[in-house]
Amino acid sequence: MHKNVFKAIGFLSILTVLLILTSLIVRPKNNDKESGMYMPDANGILAEKKNTIDALFIGDSLIYTSILPTKLYEDHGFTSYDLSTPAQRLYDSYEYLLKALDTQKPSIVFIESNGFFREFSVGSALKAKVSRYLPVITYHNRWKSLKWNDFTKKPEYSWINYNKGYRGTDKVKSPTDIKDYMEKKKEKKKILDIDKYYIELILDLCKENDIEVVLLSTPSMKSYNYAKYVRMKDFSKEHGLEYIDFNLDIDVKIDWQTDTADRGDHLNYSGAKKVTEYIGKVLKEKKFVDHRGDERYKDWDDSLAKFKEVFND
């Protein structure tokens, strides 16, 4: 009996060492796509200068199509980053926030509330947590593209994402039928227990780091409805959090004929400018610092210039 226990412990110990060594090899040595980085747009945060990001926006694709960090810098000098990925689950939101806080001390985090209603399994959440310590879980397929420096080089994240996480388009595809998607109904959308668990983890992490949290519902005819709105109203009151809703409470004059890229689900560049303009006013009221002209933020001027080459107003 004891012999079998020792064998099992020995096997697990050897397996753990192998996984650690393999993780050191397969984890990307830079944060760009060419280096094999998963979700490089969001992981662009890794190359930002230490403690230079004022605000973080976390959540799913509604964030990276609605918030223009370069526009916030151009208009106000505020630095921010869209820490968002497609269909982001709350466990991913938590992991990305942890990663960002390794090098940044943001004063505020905006959380897109659509993820509060996205279902996921305990297994997928556990996998994400284990991957934090053992990157081979995520990057096991990199064996196919390993180079010599993967065996000898330490990670050096140097790829600057001039979009700062934004992944929008100026293309227009309007809805065929513009309906009242926020029509009042009696029911409330339920937030699942597993979602509540990760929401609390995120809120606790922000509290520990003295970070203000603002809940955000960006405009989307397909992702939002009155049932979600009422539930988020209640949630924000229960937790004493500011809640910014662009679907019913705040009218930034979204024109669904011109401001959407995919028939009302996500905003295009035109719509994102309207949302970003309002967020800029919010940050200005909160007395955020204007970094324009500060030599330490010179790379933001470079990123803005590159961004404007693509999205030329």
Per residue in 8-40, pLDDT tens?
Answer: 565 556 656 666 667 667 789 998 999 999 999
pLDDT of residue 17: 65
Element containing residue 215 per DSSP (H, E): strand 212-217
For the entire predicted model, the pTM comes to: 0.93
Residue 313 has pLDDT above 80, yes or no: no
Q: Could you give the number of structural domains in the chain?
A: 1
Which residues span the domain enclosing 63? 2-310
Spell 31-56 as b/e; 16+ CB within 10 A means b.
Answer: bbeebbbebbbbbbbbbbeeebbbbb
Per residue in 64-76, pLDDT tens?
Answer: 999 999 999 999 9
Per residue in 224-269, pLDDT tens?
Answer: 999 999 999 999 999 999 999 999 999 999 999 999 999 999 999 9
Name all contacts of 29-37 with Cβ < 8 Å and 24+ positions apart.
29/149, 29/150, 29/153, 29/154, 29/155, 29/156, 30/155, 30/156, 30/157, 30/158, 30/159, 31/157, 31/158, 31/159, 32/159, 35/159, 36/139, 36/142, 36/145
* Token pair listed for 159: 């790829």
> What span, in angstroms and rounded, lies between the C-alpha atoms of 223 and 232?
14
DSSP single-letter state for residue 260 = B
> What span, in angstroms and rounded, lies between the C-alpha atoms of 90 and 95?
9
Q: What is the CA radius of gyration of the chain?
A: 21
Per residue in 129-181, pLDDT tens?
Answer: 999 988 888 887 876 777 877 787 889 999 999 999 999 999 999 998 878 89
Per residue in 65-117, pLDDT tens?
Answer: 999 999 999 999 999 999 999 999 999 999 999 999 999 999 999 999 999 99
pLDDT of residue 149: 77
CATH number at residue 298: 3.40.50.1110
